[in-house]
Amino acid sequence: MLRVALIGCGAIGSSMLELLRSDAGLRIVAIVVPASGSEAARDVARRFAPEALVQDSVPAEGIDLVVEAAGHAAIEEHVLAALARGTPCLVASVGALSAAGLPERLEAAARAGGTQVQLIAGAIGAIDALAAAGTGGLDTVRYTGRKPPSAWKGTPAEHGRNLDALTQATVIFEGSAREASALYPKNANVAATVSLAGLGLDRTQVRLVADPAVTDNVHTVEAQGAFGQFELTMRNKPLAANPKTSALTVYSAVRALRNRAAPLCI
């Protein structure tokens, strides 16, 4: 029985708890949220994880695995310390690793604790193929994120442009994954995941497109290298129970967690 602490109980965390409520091989024993989120987390816990304690830090003992679905601050506050104590961690907020020095600090904490931090694939697929291809050498990796114009409101895409007036697909950003993460942090998770699996934040090309012809978020990854070439396009649907998040991100986190408890995993 794997005893798990879940950090964050928002769109992803609460949907994970719902999916995991009947799993025999693992038990969510702690839900870690700041005081401001504790009432909402208790409500979710009552429905899906009645045995879990809602608290503001990861218990120092009795935890086999930590799962983060909360954001950059939670990695700083909880994940680094858990790793240093020797508790393995799964991280969903991969975009946070675009911050200078954070990947190195996570590595150092995991090394000090003799454990491992795993970044989940989240909303994007083919991360296994991309990372394997890197072993033989990658030449180019390009990620294109395509969303309806309204989805780019409140971002630098609005500078000098009326998003409501767009009648055709318009490239709103082209540059490195590092620049993309800084300018468009809400898009940072997929760009960072593709980068960390492949050519890194500076050599991964990112293109962001406002497209009046699409209604979903469309992710495309194109990679070339010694292995050959691939193109992946994903049109992710929101989770029925929680339209704020893409279903695949939740499924990816649940799968990563179940793999830790399963005698055979893929």
Ligand X SMILES: NC(=O)c1ccc[n+]([C@@H]2O[C@H](COP(=O)([O-])OP(=O)(O)OC[C@H]3O[C@@H](n4cnc5c(N)ncnc54)[C@H](O)[C@@H]3O)[C@@H](O)[C@H]2O)c1
Active site residue 219: yes
Burial of 135 (0-12, 13-18, 19+ CB in 10 A): exposed
Which among 18-26, 73-81, 205-213, 226-234 is the span making contact with ligand X, rule CB under 6 A?
Answer: 73-81
Per CB under 6 A, 126 contacts ligand X? no
Per CB under 6 A, 200 contacts ligand X? no
Per CB under 6 A, 155 contacts ligand X? no
How far apart CA 125 and CA 221 sit, in angstroms, is 9
Catalytic residue among 72, 78, 159, 219: 219
Q: Is-contact 222 234, C-beta < 8 A?
A: no
Per CB under 6 A, 23 contacts ligand X? no
Q: How far is the CB of 90 from ligand X (least distance, A)?
A: 11
How far apart CA 46 and CA 41 sit, in angstroms, is 9
Looking at 45, 65, 95, 223, which residue binds ligand X (CB under 6 A)? Answer: 95
Looking at 29, 54, 74, 239, which residue binds ligand X (CB under 6 A)? Answer: 74
Helix and strand numbers, DSSP H then E, in the chain? 9, 13
Looking at 63, 67, 90, 93, which residue binds ligand X (CB under 6 A)? Answer: 93
DSSP state for residue 75 in the 8-state scheme = I
Which among 93-101, 155-163, 172-180, 225-233 is the span making contact with ligand X, rule CB under 6 A?
Answer: 93-101
Q: How far is the CB of 82 from ligand X (least distance, A)?
A: 12
Q: How far is the CB of 68 from ligand X (least distance, A)?
A: 8
Angle at 214 between CA 187 and CA 194, to 5 degrees: 30
Q: What is the DSSP string of 181-221?
A: HHH-GGGHHHHHHHHHHTT-TTTSEEEEEE-TT-SSEEEEE
Per CB under 6 A, 9 contacts ligand X? yes
Q: Please, which residues have CB within 8 angstroms of residue 72's CB and are 6 or more apart in sequence?
A: 93, 95, 96, 99, 102
Q: How far is the CB of 4 from ligand X (least distance, A)?
A: 15
Per CB under 6 A, 16 contacts ligand X? no
Binding to ligand X, residues 211-240 (CB under 6 A): none
Q: Is the Cα torsion angle 36, 42, 47, 51 positive or negative in sign?
A: positive
Closest residue to ligand X, judged by C-beta, is 10
Per CB under 6 A, 145 contacts ligand X? no
How far apart CA 66 and CA 19 sit, in angstroms, is 17
Q: How far is the CB of 79 from ligand X (least distance, A)?
A: 9
Q: How far is the CB of 108 from ligand X (least distance, A)?
A: 20
DSSP state for residue 113 in the 8-state scheme = H
3-state secondary structure of 7: strand
**Residues acting as catalytic residues:** 219
Binding site for ligand X (CB under 6 A): 7-13, 32-34, 37, 69-71, 73-74, 77-78, 92-95, 122-123, 189-190, 193, 245, 249
